[in-house]
Amino acid sequence: MSGDARISRVAVVGAGRVGTAVARTLVDAGYCVTLSGSGDPADLELLAAVVAPGAHVAWTADAVASADLVIVSIPLHRLPTLDPSLLHGKLVVDAMNYWPPVDGRLDEFEEAAGGSSVVVQRLLAGATVVKTFNHVGYHDLEVDRRPAGHPQRLGLAVAGDSPAAVASVAELIDRIGYDPVTLPSLTDGRSLQPGGVVFGARLTAAEITLAVTRSAHDAAA
Amino acid sequence: MSNQSTPAVRREPRVTDPAPDGVHFGIGTFAFQPQEPDGSPTPGPQVIRDVIEEAVAAEQAGLDSFGIAEHYRPGMMDSAAPVILGAIAARTSTLRVGTAVTVLSTQDPVRVYNDFATLDAASGGRAQLIVGRGSAIESFPLFGFDLSDYEQLFEEKLDLLMRLLREQPVTWSGRFRPPLVDQVLEPQISPGGVPVWVGVGGSPQSVMRAARFGLPLMLGLIGGTLEHFKPLTDLYRRSLDALQQTQQPVGMHVHGYIADTDEEALERFWPVWSGTMNAEAPKRGWAPYRRERYEAEAIGGALFVGSPETVARRVASAMQTLGATRFDFVAAASRMPHTEKRDSIERFGREVVPRVRQLLAASDSNAGWPDVR
Amino acid sequence: MELGIGAFGDANRDPATGTRTSEAQAIRNVVESIVVAEQAGLDWFGLGEHHTPEFPVSAAATVLAAAAARTSRIKLSSAVTVLSTDDPVRVYEQYSTVDAISNGRVEMIPGRGSSIESFPLFGYDLREYDQLFAEKLDLLLEVNRSPRVTWEGTTRPALHGEYVPPRAEHGPIPIWLGVGGNPGSVIRAAQLGLPMATGVLGGSAIRSSSNADLYRHAAEKFGNTPEQTLVMLGSPGFLMRDGKKARDAWWPHWHQFMKVVGEQRGFAPPTRDSYDRDTAPQGGLLIGSPEEIAERIILMHQHWGHVRQYLHIDMGGVPQKDLLHAIELFGTEVRPLVQRELGATPVDVLMGRRPAPLAASA
Ligand SMILES: NC(=O)c1ccc[n+]([C@@H]2O[C@H](COP(=O)([O-])OP(=O)(O)OC[C@H]3O[C@@H](n4cnc5c(N)ncnc54)[C@H](OP(=O)(O)O)[C@@H]3O)[C@@H](O)[C@H]2O)c1
């Protein structure tokens, strides 16, 4: 069962722009991080050593097997190349966005009224999916970190259907340098994705809460 | 399939041309249609003529190169960069004429060869290319390519282009273009005669690809801080070593604006830059671009905005941080009216670059620069 | 009547000296020829596309752009664009960009071209030539007419209203259909409502002028306007002040050029006899003194009724300085003689186009 246990080992699947930035922040925060790509980890060794020093590399299956948390940061159209059975029973962060300029047109995501992570959760049926990191640009992720209590500390939204899973991920977000703003369902995660109210904005936790509440209110009105 | 396999080990004495004292300063431009003072857009064909004048001004201001981007949308006039560069070549005599970037993924490398070898001939050996995957919004549907082939398209086409530029006749086959059998392309140029740089955003895979091909690296700075790019240049250099490739130069492609004082530059550039960012925002689903963010980026981030002295100091320190020997400035976001853009290019050439050269020469930390000359 | 020059960007060996200009120099020579043609008062310059060591101009639009930046009045055209193996979208983008650079001085002649080396190069099958050309011409005309095109065919991916920039400033770019001598192609030009560009490549200057009659009859049948129904003619040509010297000087170049072409296509090289006949007062090769050539063009006009005559001038390694001299004679001496007889109405006016404004920038 994923959720309440404290996270210490993290697998980051997809060592691209987002994956390597996330890995660096996690290493800095003291996590044990393993990066994996679509193929042989040997191909990633130099990359990890230089761009994400301190992170390990492994085959995806191995990295995931020993992880408390799996962060998936591959292009969404590549998701079908990731074997869902590997993630069975795992706590999974979906950092991906549906980005037609890169992904092309994907009908199931075009029509995803509940947001892209709801579709991801359906595709990874055995996993517990939490949505975060989606609204921050990879190049801002490290720059914007602040210690707890800093007056300009920014927020990162964390959305998911499982309160325990959301809480575990929220704790990690706090540890890497952001105030977590938890949202009680994956559907609420729509605010985090392209077109959502906090996408690409660098906001404090209070501002995120305000923006999300306002947009929910506008939608209801 | 004969592509993918060979490019890694070929060594090449020199694929970029040296600039004075080994440091190269250029201009990058997008042929945007700006607004005239009365609010109407400058007519598109006039924008193209203005770009040519800006390139002439760049040469007169002592700059080394001028690069044009590639887009296919209303409001942007750079769909046929080599053609505009042909005109620029005819009006200049020392300026290197190139692209920033050529969206190689949706081009035919044979035509790219034809265009740039022709440009090289017309310009007396001044053609250059920066090739990239591009941001794939318009050119994929327009030329009928599938976005799911994004990576493979670029890989295969870069492989073919480099072969065409290095050795002919060429026999080649791949997925995305009909095969070539013992083909010689015209006009002939000397091997490596048209330098090719690989344009990269922030993706480590792209950096490693550039290393694998043994090509110089052009980093497009679009956000974040310079420290963020440092690991990428390290990765690039170490990858070159690991692959036993010759070390190659690193360049940076940066947006900015210059005025008499920092305050004036910040104020005048704010509406232009926030306008650019906010024009993209709805399409890409970004939140509105805010002033605080702008200031942070303009003071310590990827935007180079300020007085000539401020910008010069930042350029020098950025080049040292990244070990870069080439700096391409996108003046005034290519968005301001022609005269202001031209002024900004001139100020960069006349006021910033000489000062940067001074700062670089004065600095001891030069010693640590990679030997890429 | 407008007069112009056609060029291929010749890098052939000069048979007299045995030397060959570099391919890069051949490209720079074209730009220089265009500048000189404008100075000599000529109206038009057309540049061909080839992919051979003899004719290395593989990206004509880029060369025309270089010339556009150094001229302000002369019309610039492809002659011809090998459309069958190109992408009409890119072709339009390139020529509309030259149009912007030149302040609206661009024209295009899509056609088969005389050579076929681009087919294997771009992976096309020559057997599909007709379909390739028909489809691509259709798309080029569409893209020239409207900025967003919805189109489907078999020779290029479909378009669903994508924008094709930059748009030419003065409306559609004039497109002449390049026609060899095939009557079917002549009728197609009329059917498409396009002006026709054709050539006389030797033999008699007037024999094949029946194609012009055919074109006009067909145009009438299709209900085309006089503005659409125009003929331009290209002929191999060369001038020196002394006509006989010109014919003697040109002969070895022509012989060499035709010998190479003949070997590729299986015909015998010309003999000096046939050459003398073709350069005589009714012949199709316009080689001679300015007066002789002016007379020939006036004679041809009686049969062809054409509105523009151009000389194809750079074949077989003729030294650049001789070419430039010939261009000068053609502009400064032949043009006034011809226009005194046939008038000087610009083709733009005949087409119902506003003449392009003079460039301010060049
Ligand atoms: N860029 C941003 O600022 C940003 C911000 C938030 C969210 N996002 C989202 O995050 C995701 C990743 O974006 P990115 O910019 O990091 O992309 P990227 O730089 O292209 O990297 C994606 C990485 O995924 C790897 N990959 C692909 N299929 C894989 C598989 N089956 N298993 C393991 N690795 C695989 C690729 O490596 P190989 O195929 O070579 O192994 C590549 O390294 C996207 O959905 C994007 O929308 C991006």
Do B and C make contact via 3 or more CB pairs under 8 A? The reply is: yes
Looking at residue B373, its pLDDT comes to: 30
Looking at residue B222, its pLDDT comes to: 80
The greatest distance separating any two alpha carbons of chain A, rounded to the nearest whole angstrom, comes to: 54
A106 domain residue, yes or no? yes
Residue-range domain boundaries for chain B? 20-361
Residue A195, ligand 1, Cβ within 6 A? no
Looking at residue C355, its pLDDT comes to: 61
A1 domain residue, yes or no? no
Residue A128, ligand 1, Cβ within 6 A? no
pLDDT at A54 over 80: yes
Could you say which residues of chain C have pLDDT below 50? 359-362
Looking at residue B372, its pLDDT comes to: 36
A200: left (phi over 0), alpha (psi -120 to 50) or beta: left
Does residue B137 sit at the A interface (CB-CB below 8 Å)?
Answer: yes
**What residues does C148 pair with on adjacent strands?**
C163
- Residue C220, classified by CB atoms within 10 Å of its CB into exposed (0-12), middle (13-18) or buried (19+), is exposed
Tell me how close the Cα of B96 comes to any Cα of chain A, in angstroms.
31
Q: How many CA atoms lie within 13 A of B358 on its CB side?
A: 9
pLDDT at A109 over 90: yes
Q: What is the whole-number distance in angstroms between the Cα of residue B203 and the centre of ligand 1?
A: 9
Helices and strands per DSSP (H, E), number in chain C: 13, 13
Chain C residues with beta carbon closer than 8 angstroms to that of B73: 163, 165
Query: What's the mean per-residue pLDDT of chain B?
Result: 88
Chain B residues with beta carbon closer than 8 angstroms to that of A17: 201-204
Whole-angstrom distance, CA of residue C94 vs CA of residue C62: 8
Residue-range domain boundaries for chain C? 2-350
Whole-angstrom distance, CA of residue B187 vs CA of residue C30: 13
Q: Is the bond preceding B288 in cis, omega lying within 30 degrees of 0?
A: no
Whole-angstrom distance, CA of residue C188 vs CA of residue C346: 25
Which residue's alpha carbon is at the smallest distance from atom 48 of ligand 1?
A18
pLDDT at A188 over 80: yes
Whole-angstrom distance, CA of residue B290 vs CA of residue C156: 44
Whole-angstrom distance, CA of residue C340 vs CA of residue C338: 5
Chain B residues with beta carbon closer than 8 angstroms to that of C168: 45
| Ligand 1 probe mutation, A12, A35, A38, A64, most atoms within 8 A of CB | A38
Contact B230, A53 (CB under 8 A): no
> Measured in Å, how far apart are chain B's first and last C-alpha atoms?
36
Nearest to B204 by CA among B228, B185, B175, B180: B228
- Which range marks the domain in which residue A158 is found? 9-220
What CATH number is associated with residue A33?
Answer: 3.40.50.720
Count of CB atoms situated within 10 Å of the CB of C159: 22
Whole-angstrom distance, CA of residue C348 vs CA of residue C304: 19
Under the banding of pLDDT at 50, 70 and 90, the label for residue B20 is very low
Q: From the candidates B54, B83, B110, B184, which should be mutated to test the interface with C, based on the most C CB atoms within 10 A?
A: B83
Contacting B residues, span 211-270, partner chain A, CB-CB under 8 Å: 222-225, 228, 231-232, 234-235, 238-239, 242
What is B20-361's CATH number?
3.20.20.30
C-alpha pair distances (Å), B317 with each of B265, B298, B299, B327, C285: 20, 15, 13, 12, 67
Map tokens 């043994």 to a residue: B214
Does residue B56 sit at the C interface (CB-CB below 8 Å)?
Answer: no
The pLDDT > 70 percentage for chain B reads 90
Nearest to C61 by CA among B108, B121, B83: B83
Under the banding of pLDDT at 50, 70 and 90, the label for residue B140 is confident
Whole-angstrom distance, CA of residue B118 vs CA of residue C65: 11
Give the type of residue at C317: G
Tokens linked to C303: 């049969």
Residues near C287 by beta carbon (within 8 Å), at least 6 away in sequence: C236, C237, C238, C239, C243, C246, C247, C250, C279, C293
Contacting C residues, span 23-62, partner chain B, CB-CB under 8 Å: 23-28, 31, 50-53, 55-59, 61-62
A4 domain residue, yes or no? no
Contact B48, B77 (CB under 8 A): yes
Under the banding of pLDDT at 50, 70 and 90, the label for residue B294 is very high
Helix, strand, coil percentages for chain C (3-state, nearest 5):
45, 15, 40
Looking at residue B136, its pLDDT comes to: 55
Tokens linked to C33: 């020829």
Looking at residue B364, its pLDDT comes to: 52
Whole-angstrom distance, CA of residue A159 vs CA of residue A87: 19
Looking at residue B313, its pLDDT comes to: 96
Contact C229, C304 (CB under 8 A): no
The greatest distance separating any two alpha carbons of chain C, rounded to the nearest whole angstrom, comes to: 59
Which residue's alpha carbon is at the smallest distance from atom 36 of ligand 1?
A14
Nearest to C233 by CA among C342, C94, C115: C342
Nearest to C146 by CA among C133, C131, C159: C159
Of ligand 1's atoms, which has the minimum distance to the CA of residue B202?
19
Looking at residue B5, its pLDDT comes to: 37
pLDDT digits (tens, 9 = 90+) for A70-105: 999 999 989 999 999 999 999 999 999 998 767 777
Contact C15, C253 (CB under 8 A): yes
Contact C313, C157 (CB under 8 A): no
CATH architecture of C2-350: Alpha-Beta Barrel (3.20)
Looking at residue A102, its pLDDT comes to: 72
| Ligand 1 probe mutation, A12, A13, A17, A116, most atoms within 8 A of CB | A17
Whole-angstrom distance, CA of residue C262 vs CA of residue C247: 21
Looking at residue C356, its pLDDT comes to: 56
A177 domain residue, yes or no? yes
Does residue B136 sit at the A interface (CB-CB below 8 Å)?
Answer: yes
C317: left (phi over 0), alpha (psi -120 to 50) or beta: left
pLDDT digits (tens, 9 = 90+) for C252-268: 999 999 888 777 766 77
Between C63, C159, C168, which is nearest B86 by CB?
C63
Q: From the candidates C83, C97, C143, which should be mutated to test the interface with B, based on the most B CB atoms within 10 A?
A: C97
Tokens linked to A41: 């980890």
Q: What is the whole-number distance in angstroms between the Cα of residue C319 and the centre of ligand 1?
A: 59
Collapsing DSSP to helix, strand or coil, C33 comes out as: helix
Chain A residues with beta carbon closer than 8 angstroms to that of B242: 46
Residue A36 parent element (H or E) = strand A32-36
Q: Provide ipTM, 2 decimals.
A: 0.91
Residues near A73 by beta carbon (within 8 Å), at least 6 away in sequence: A12, A13, A14, A16, A18, A19, A22, A95, A96, A133
Mean pLDDT of the region B298-315: 94
Q: How many CA atoms lie within 13 A of C55 on its CB side?
A: 21
